[in-house]
Amino acid sequence: MDRVASLRRTFDEGLTRPLDWRREELRAMRRMLAEGEGELMDALRHDLGKPAVEARLTDLSFVDAEIDVMLANLGRWARPERVAVPAVQQPGHATVVREPLGVALVISPWNYPVQLLLVPMAAAICAGNCVIGKPSEIAPRTSAAIARLAGRYLDGRAVAIVEGGVEETQALLAERFDTIFYTGNGRVGRIVMEAAAHHLTPVTLELGGKCPAIVDAEADVTVAARRIAWGKFLNAGQTCVAPDYVLAHRSVEDELVEALTRSLHDFYGEDPHRTEDYARIVNERHFDRLSGLLAATSGTVAAGGQTDRGDRYIAPTVLTGVGPDDPVMEDEIFGPILPVLAVDGVDDAVRFVRARPKPLALYVFSQNRGAVDRVLAGTSSGGAAVNCTVVHLAIPGLPFGGVGASGMGSYHGRQGFETFSHRRAVLSKPTVPDLPVQYPPYTKAKEWLLKKML
C-alpha cells in the first residue's frame, strides 16, 4: 500500500522525532476537535443516537483531556532515564532512551468512534511515530467526518485516515507495521494477531468480556443501583467496560432490582423511547442479536423489555431469574440488557467470576472493606472499581487494558506513550581506563581477580 510506504519514508527522514513537531500535532488535533465539534456531534447523533452530553463527555472531551496530559508531560516522559551501573562495569553511564517504534496502525471500533480512534493515535504521535487510523465503517458518518477533519488539520506526511470495511482492513493488515493497536472483539483480535505474526509486529489488543458487578449485603444499595444503571445504560449499553451482569447477595437482590427500576425512571422518565438522553443500537444486525437474546432468555423482565426495530431502540432492561447457562450469559451482551443473578455471598461471587474468562473490568459494591479485599484478591480483571462503574478509565494515571481474553497491553496517560515507544538500553563507557583483566589470555591471576570482582 502506497500510503504505508509514504509514511515510512517520512519516519525515516526524522520528521516526527522532534518534540516540537509532536506538540504541534497534538495541538492541531485539539483544534480539530474544538472547531469540528458540531460536525462530529452531528455524526455521533446520526450513527448512534448519542445524546449531546454523552457525546461530548465520552468522546470529544475525553480526547481533549488525554491530549492535555500528553502536552503537560511529554518533555518528562521523553527524557532519558538514568539507571545504576554496577561497580564491575564502572566507569560508565547507562540510560533508557524512549524511541518511537516507527509506523503504527490503529484500528478502532464503532461504539466510541472518536475517542477510541483518536486517543491511541494521539499516543502514537506523542511517542514520535507516524500513524494510520482505521475508523469503523459501522459508524460511517463519524468515520467520514474524522477523515475530512484530519485531512484539514493534521500533517498528512505523517498521519493518515483510511476509511473502508473488511477489504480495506485486510489490505492494511497485509502491510508491515511497527506496531498495531486494535480495539474491538476477541474474534477479530485473533485475526489481527495472526496477521501481525507474519511480520513479527507487536500488538496491543483492547478487547472486552463480561464485566461483573458484585453487590454485597453491606452495600449502599441505592447508590449501587444508580451507579450500575448509569454505567450499564450509557450509550445504550454499547460500552466495553459496562457492567454486563450483576451478582447480588440474596438478601439485597429484591431491593437492588427495585432501586435499578427507580433509577431508570429517574434517568429516562416513564418512556425512555421519547427521551433525548438515551442512545440507540448502532444498526439492525446488532438490534436483531440483542432482541434475540431477550426472546431466548429464561429470566423475567423486571424493567424495560420494549423494542422498536425501525428506530433501533431497545429499552433499558433488567432481567431477574436468569440462570448461569442462559443465552444472555454466554457472551458479552454489549447492549442495554442487565441480568441480575443472586449469590449466597462474596465468596460465591468470586467463584462465579473465576470460573469464567478474565473480564476487562470488575466492579464491587460494599461498605465492608474486608469483603472488597476478598473480591479484589480472589479475582483478576483488566481494571477494577469499588463503589462505582466505568469512570476508572478516565484517570490518566491508571493504565487501561485487559488481561487474558479481555486483551493485552494498555494505554492512557503515560502508559499510552510507553505502548508506542521502544525502551532502548544505552551504555556509554570512556576509553580510559581500559583494564587488561577482561581480555584473554585468562591467566590464573586474572581468573582470581575476575572472581573477586564478580
Q: What is the CATH number of the domain that holds 106?
A: 3.40.605.10
**170 shares its domain with 73:** yes
Return the bridge partners of 97, or none. Answer: 424
Among 384, 401, 418, give the residue marking a domain's end. Answer: 401
**349 shares its domain with 375:** yes
Burial of 421: CB neighbours in 10 Å, binned 0-12, 13-18, 19+? buried
Question: Would you say residue 115 lies in a domain?
Answer: yes
Strand 317-320 relative to strand 159-161, pairing: unpaired
Question: Would you say residue 442 lies in a domain?
Answer: no
Q: What are the start-end ranges of the H helices in 234-360?
A: 253-268, 284-296, 346-354
**282 shares its domain with 419:** no
Domain housing 244:
212-401
pLDDT at 451: 85
pLDDT at 137: 97
Question: Would you say residue 72 lies in a domain?
Answer: yes
pLDDT at 454: 77
C-alpha span between 452 and 432 (Å, rounded)? 22
- Helix (H) / strand (E) element for 124: namely helix 115-126
**18 shares its domain with 148:** yes
**145 shares its domain with 257:** no
Question: Would you say residue 449 lies in a domain?
Answer: no
CATH number at residue 226: 3.40.309.10
**261 shares its domain with 294:** yes
Question: Would you say residue 339 lies in a domain?
Answer: yes
- pTM higher than 0.85: yes
Q: Residues 6 or more apart from 102 whose CB is under 8 A from it?
A: 8, 11, 129, 130, 177, 178, 179
- Domains held by the chain: number: 2
Question: Would you say residue 445 lies in a domain?
Answer: no
Among 401, 417, 449, give the residue marking a domain's end. Answer: 401
C-alpha span between 207 and 412 (Å, rounded)? 15
**199 shares its domain with 338:** no
Question: Would you say residue 229 lies in a domain?
Answer: yes
Active site residue 35: no
- From the candidates 126, 130, 211, 240, give the one annotated as an active-site residue: 240
**394 shares its domain with 250:** yes
**201 shares its domain with 224:** no
Q: What are the start-end ranges of the H helices in 198-345?
A: 221-233, 253-268, 284-296
**103 shares its domain with 247:** no
**333 shares its domain with 410:** no
Stretches where the chain sits below pLDDT 70 are: 1
pLDDT at 452: 81
Active site residue 218: no
C-alpha span between 85 and 336 (Å, rounded)? 56
Return the bridge partners of 229, or none. Answer: none
C-alpha span between 231 and 58 (Å, rounded)? 12
**149 shares its domain with 267:** no
Question: Would you say residue 348 lies in a domain?
Answer: yes
